[in-house]
Amino acid sequence: MPGPKRNRRERTDEWANIKQWTLWPEQELYEQIRPVVLFHETAGERAKEIDVPERTLARKADEFERSGMQSLFSSGAQGGARETGKTLPPEIRQLIVDLHTELPTMSWREIAEVCYIRYGRRPDHKSVKRIATSSHRPSLRERRYQPWHQIPDPAERRLAVIRLHSEGWSITCIAAYMQTTRPTIYATLQRWKEEQFAA
């Protein structure tokens, strides 16, 4: 008698394991938003758990509630089609190169997400990698923001974090770029959000 096709795994809520086990990008996206749309966990809570920008997560959850499973797949009407390098305008190509220069550890998926937030167009990951590692020169001559501990003014430090976050940078990427810890970045953004609600 043939054995089972799949080896049994223990159920887990650990995002690192879930992400590793997903087979398709659409499956990973659904796992990202599932606690939000199914259990009504807030986008902020889920974003902290999986290190995805809160605004991105909230938008994807809203799209799912409007359009169902169709919203998980690439299309012009749902989140922007994954575009190949041949269809990308020069400004997006330049952004990809600049992001890779600013933070070489930023994943191709995260770079694509920043492109989508800024321009509304999401390149596919292979194109991002090819463009980022090409001989194209970055437009940046120096860092946009100094490391956390080299910025003496707390207000300037917070502004740098808020700007990077608004561009779609994840907490992990911001922490790596600013050379500080993830809890520091998370606490900074959390205080800023609380002040916005209070206002």
pLDDT in tens, 12-43: 888 888 888 887 778 888 899 999 988 888 98
Instruction: Report how far apart, in Å, the C-alpha atoms of 46 and of each of 92, 111, 158, 175 are.
Output: 29, 20, 22, 18
CB 71 within 8 A of CB 65: no
CA-atom Rg of the chain in angstroms: 18
Determine the topology of domain 143-199 in CATH.
Answer: Arc Repressor Mutant, subunit A (1.10.10)
Q: Write the CB contacts of 141 (distance below 8 Å, at least 6 apart in sequence).
A: none
Q: Tell me the helices (H) and strands (E) count for the chain, helix number first.
A: 10, 2
Domain boundaries defined on the chain: 23-72, 80-141, 143-199
Rounded mean pLDDT, 187-192: 88
pLDDT above 80: residue 66: no
Q: Write the CB contacts of 161 (distance below 8 Å, at least 6 apart in sequence).
A: 174, 178, 185, 188, 189
Look over the chain and give the mean of its residue pLDDT values, rounded to a whole number.
84
pLDDT of 18? 85
pLDDT in tens, 111-168: 998 998 888 888 888 889 999 998 788 898 889 999 999 999 999 999 999 999 989 8
pLDDT of 78? 42
What is the total residue count of the chain?
199
Element (H, E) at 190: helix 182-198
pLDDT above 90: residue 86: no
pLDDT of 74? 58
DSSP 124-180: -HHHHHHHHTSSPPPS-SS-SS--GGG---HHHHHHHHHHHHHTT--HHHHHHHHTS
pLDDT of 179? 96
Q: What values do phi and psi take at 139, rounded to 5?
A: -85, -10
pLDDT of 68? 79
pLDDT of 94? 94
pLDDT of 92? 92
CB 89 within 8 A of CB 62: no
